[in-house]
A = this chain, B = another copy of it.
Amino acid sequence: MQLLDGKVLSEQILTEIAGEVEAIKKAGGKIPHLAAVLVGNDGASQTYVNSKVKNCERVGFKSTLIQRESSTTEAELLAIVRQLNNDADIDGFIVQLPLPSHISEKLITDSISPDKDVDGFHPFNVGKLALGLETFVSATPNGVMEMLKRYKIETAGKNCVVIGRSNIVGSPMAMLLSKPNKCEVIANNGYTADATVTICHSRTQNLKEITSKADILVVAIGKAEFVTADMVKDGAVVVDVGIHRIPDETKKSGFRLVGDVKFDEVAPKTSYITPVPGGVGLMTICSLLQNTLKAGKK
């Protein structure tokens, strides 16, 4: 069993991006500039956005944080989006979700210019992905593909099973893995795909039968330690997208972090597995920065 180590990979990718920014600077080019919009006081959102801004600094990007009260109206937020769409210095921006319930997330997402939609949530960009065209792939599936690529895990013709069908993880993950290797979104990024893909979810009746045939199992079901050893084939590659806080009195913090996979019993059966924390989570911020770099180059 070998770890798919998000710490090592994300360091590697951040260093690569920083190198590219240096080269752009030397050549007198435009420094990539990411803006993040945060509405309200959600603690987790604040943490995520801060981490995004911090990592921008780390790689040498410019970053702008636009913070607004939770009482901000939809019209006010739309005006901010429009301003960012029209600001030539901003290469890409994100509006951190979730938004307060009086604001339509769909309306806001749809109003972001697809050229600056580095989260890859706009229907136009999702459609390009579905068509196999190069686009801004959303952070988590992009991060998983990077992991597979950098650990040289062969996917062509393999049985891949994705548990979960969400719009931001399971569904795009299944699309990417099933595309032909020669299509734009795969070939241009040097990814590996061409897998036989099964999409499972809460309504799947014979889950264990399906997962235990998977050469590569991607788990994004959002249930703590859901996947147990009996569900996994010997020698499988297991990618765990989940992250959950579990009360644990032995820890100073009072909790420990676990994924969607029961790591201790599953890991010994696998050829490769992502740890939680230290796995896929760390890759997502890299994906956002990779997308911003790509937007800046356009």
Contact = CB atoms under 8 A, between A and B. Distances in A.
A200 interface: yes
Nearest to A122: B127
Interface stretch (A10-18, A48-56, A130-138, A239-247): A130-138
Contacts of A196: 198-201, 203-206, 210
A198 B171 CA distance: 13
A197 interface: yes
Contacts of A210: 196
A167 B131 contact: yes
B127 A128 contact: yes
A271 to B, nearest CB: 18
Contacts of A133: 106, 123
A157 interface: yes
A229 to B, nearest CB: 22
Quick one: copies of this chain in the complex? 2
Interface stretch (A75-83, A173-181, A283-291): A173-181
Range of interface residues on A (Cβ < 8 Å): 35 or more
A119 to B, nearest CB: 13
A130 B203 contact: no
Contacts of A157: 203-205
A82 B171 CA distance: 33
A135 to B, nearest CB: 8
A292 interface: no
A111 to B, nearest CB: 13
A192 to B, nearest CB: 11
Nearest to A168: B131
A194 B199 CA distance: 10
A108 interface: no
Given A125-B127, A127-B125, A196-B198, A175 B171 contact: yes
B171 A199 contact: no
Contacts of A126: 126-127, 130-131
Nearest to A124: B124
Given A180-B165, A199-B178, A201-B178, A128 B123 contact: yes
9 contacts: A124-B124, A124-B127, A132-B167, A157-B205, A159-B206, A165-B180, A171-B175, A180-B201, A196-B200
